[in-house]
Amino acid sequence: MRTGQSQSGSTSGYRGSLTTGKLFSQCHRPTRSLVRQCPCHWPGQSHSRSGGISLECPTPEELVTEFRKRLIEWGRANYEEWPWRKDRTPYKVLIAELLLKRTTRQAVGREYNKFIEKFPDIESIYRASFEEVRDAFRPLGLYNQRAKQLKEVARAVVEQYGGEIPDDIDRLKSLPGVADYIAGAVMSFGFGKPAIIPDANVIRVLARVTGIERWSSRGKLKLYAVLEKLLPEDGHEDFNYALLDLGGTVCRYDRPRCFKCPLRDLCVMGHNDEEMKQCLRRLYKKLGKRDSVHTKVKEQNKR
């Protein structure tokens, strides 16, 4: 969590497919100005004559440490202010994430505070009529569908958990319409427990950085494993906010701004040196192997 500030997190609703290789080759064309701006953190890192970055292949531990450091530093410098990132509670995080499904952050930003004022807790939604909840959703569209889902969530929380949002990731995922990324957001931003937030933005960023395809179930499992190993126990909120913001503003689905990316020379698709690309690909592949880390993260979430 950022010092001195209470926050509530959210995904962003950006969607799209991987960018073409042609666009990436244009995006990552080395220039002297980019090289001068590029932060050099690893010992032995230097600028090559071609304008790219020359690195000795790091260890997996060095890669994880550097990834976290760069991402969190960038996230703190480029933090995005949204109403749901203030006065954070599990309920408010859950509501924000449900509102943000298939909706832009800008649209939710205009309506979030009004919704919270009308429905300050889960019991108020449970007691309200379907029509009242539906009318609150009208400015965001899909109001019948959204109202039905939220009424079902409120009923489950009140009747199964006594009105308390469960602090267990599996129980959260049992709620109607709550999948991995919403459950992870509630755990990390609402309860302060380490949890990955694998929304579409995050998975797209990780697929580009690691070179691991994201369309198959097997590929997604590998990306989940990489994300779990990159996630720090301390500072997981800052890490998750930064990754969400990076995917929404820099590593966008249509026009990625690679020259602004803090992970550019840790990225398989972004690196200019072919040897380093292969090194990074091997390291991320190793991190993508599922092992005890998955069990460890799940156990932490249940405490």
- For every one of its 303 residues, what pLDDT tens digit does the chain have, with 9 covering 90 and above? 444 343 333 443 333 333 333 333 334 333 333 333 333 334 344 443 333 444 578 899 999 999 999 999 999 999 989 999 988 999 999 999 998 887 888 888 898 999 999 999 999 999 999 999 999 888 777 778 888 999 999 999 999 999 999 999 999 999 999 999 999 999 999 999 999 999 999 999 999 999 999 999 899 999 999 999 999 999 999 999 999 999 999 999 888 999 999 999 999 998 888 899 999 999 999 999 876 444 444 444 444
Q: CA-to-CA distance for 195 and 8, rounded, in angstroms?
A: 14
The CATH number for 114's domain is 1.10.340.30
Does 228 lie in the same domain as 175? Answer: no
Q: CA-to-CA distance for 233 and 237, rounded, in angstroms?
A: 9
Q: CA-to-CA distance for 217 and 228, rounded, in angstroms?
A: 16
Does 202 lie in the same domain as 286? Answer: yes
Does 257 lie in the same domain as 230? Answer: yes
284: left (phi over 0), alpha (psi -120 to 50) or beta: alpha
CA 79 from centroid of its chain's CA atoms = 13
> By residue range, what is the domain housing residue 145?
90-190
| Residue at 265 is within a domain | yes
* End-of-domain residue from the set 153, 173, 190: 190
| Residue at 13 is within a domain | no
* End-of-domain residue from the set 130, 156, 190: 190
Give the orientation angle of helix 217-230 with respect to helix 200-210, to 10 degrees.
90
Does 216 lie in the same domain as 184? Answer: no
Does 201 lie in the same domain as 68? Answer: yes
Q: Which residues are catalytic?
A: 97, 181, 199
The structure's pTM equals 0.77
Q: Give kind and range of the element (H or E) at residue 278.
A: helix 274-287
Does 130 lie in the same domain as 60? Answer: no
* End-of-domain residue from the set 136, 164, 190: 190
Q: CA-to-CA distance for 103 and 10, rounded, in angstroms?
A: 12
**Structure token pair of residue 96:** 């924000």
